[in-house]
Structure 1
Amino acid sequence: MASRPMTAWDKMAAWSRRNLPTREAMERSRMLRPVAHRVLAPELWRFTRRSVPRGVALGMVAGILFPVGQIAIAALIALPFRANVPVAALVTFITNPLTTPFILFAAYQIGAWLLRSNAAAVAQPVAEAATGWLQWLRDAGPNLILGLLVITVVSALVGYGAAALGWRLWIARKWKTRHERD
């Protein structure tokens, strides 16, 4: 039987398998040790049509809103929502040193647009001392926070929808290949 070429779905699945956090890695985490018995519950590690989109959405929330400890936070907020813990942890990598500046810039622009703020606060902290930085933070803070909230909600909804659609397409493909074999 000839092997078929790898599709984009196959490559994405292989990358995910390589990068998904393992139960053992989560068990060794100092931040998760107090709640490890809950985070490591088997039902939170099963890949189901409901838990995977929840994990994607919660991973987006943790990845965008929290600058530190994103994987642990994603694992913790996955508990009450019965979301897939490894997927939530993996999706937090949406923010990394390459994407974070773009996300923050877009968040500031969205917040400034929604609040109708025209203050040119983006370049000020580079040129000014610590007191100027605090002034910039006071001026730009509301724009940035509102923009981050908007980006978080939109990306969580889009991520949930894309994961749910991807799950349906994956199952449909499996059924199609099963029926073609019969």
Structure 2
Amino acid sequence: MARLSRWVGRHVPTRESVEANRYLRPVAHRILAPALWRFTRRSVPRGVALGLFTGVLFPFAHMPLAAVTALPVRANVPVAVGTTLLHNPITTVPLFWAAYQLGHWVLRFDRSVPGAPIASNVKANVGLLHWLVSQGGPSTIVGLVLIAAILSVLGYFLTGLAWRIRIGRKWRKRAARKGPKQAI
């Protein structure tokens, strides 16, 4: 544990190093705004929703994108960046498979459409590129958008609920410590 904390201490940038970075200097006052780094009941669920959305929808550079988009929506930056880790090398294949299956189901590529059925057209042109452009790509994109939207809404509400439960427990503990009120 001590080794991990030393590694984090060496590699995580400090506020001063972010302010001193010449590339971030023009926007440092926005990035380092204290409201974006505080854990509040409004900023944390926003950060979770934003991180889940960008983590699922954008497979590359999702962390910087989450940090940049956290600024205008006033979401917690560390939470937004941290929740993008849902999309990692271990979860990429199951996520894309689920997105393809969901998109395939939503778009109903196996059903007949007025005119010629899509499935018969795909079978006629068996090439992988044709399948990717006509069926695989659209299904995966639609599925990713749906999964990103559903996960971000669920993340927002579940984080808000967890926050309320946590605060309720704190209030009950505080009330139990003070004991019953005495009449004057």
**TM-score bracket, shorter-length normalisation:** 0.7 to 0.9
Give the AA of the match of 1:87.
V
Contact 1:22 1:86 in 2 (8 A): no
**Aligned counterpart, 1:161:** 157
Q: Structure 2 residue aligned with 1:38, among 6, 22, 30?
A: 30
* Paired residues, number: 151
2:71 to 61, 71, 79: 79
Give 1:136 shift: 3.4
Aligned to 2:129: 134
TM-score, normalised to structure 2, is: 0.74
Equivalent position SS for 1:101:
helix
Alignment deviations for residues 83-129 of structure 1 (CA, whole Å, 9 cap, x no partner): 00010011001111111111100100010111101389xxxxxxx9x
Change (3 A) 1:23 1:38: farther
Among 142, 162, 167, which residue is 1:171 paired with? 167
**DSSP-derived class of the 1:56 partner:** helix
Q: Deviation of residue 22 (structure 1)? A: 5.4
Structure of greater Rg: 2
Aligned partner of 1:24 in structure 2 is 14
**Matched letter for residue 51 of structure 1:** S
2: CA distance, partners of 1:133 / 1:62: 28
* Letter of the 2:133 counterpart: R
Specify whether residues 97 and 179 from structure 1 end up closer, same or farther in structure 2 by C-alpha distance, changes over 3 A only.
Answer: same
Rounded to whole Å, the distance in 2 between the matches of 1:50 and 1:137 is: 41
Task: Provide the C-alpha distance between the structure 2 equivalents of 1:44 and 1:65, rounded to a whole number of angstroms.
Answer: 23
Checking the alignment, whether the CA contact within 8 Å between 1:23 and 1:40 is kept in structure 2 is no
> Quick one: distance in 1 between partners of 2:84 and 2:173?
33
Structure 1 spans left out of the alignment, 5+ residues: 1-17, 121-127
Secondary structure of 2:39's aligned partner: coil
Q: Which residue of 1 aligns with 2:80?
A: 88
Identity score, percent: 50
Deviation at 1:43, TM superposition (A): 0.8
Q: TM-score, normalised by structure 1?
A: 0.75
* RMSD, aligned CA: 2.6
Which residue identity is paired with 2:49? A
The residue aligned with 1:64 is 56
Which amino acid is 1:116 matched to?
A: R
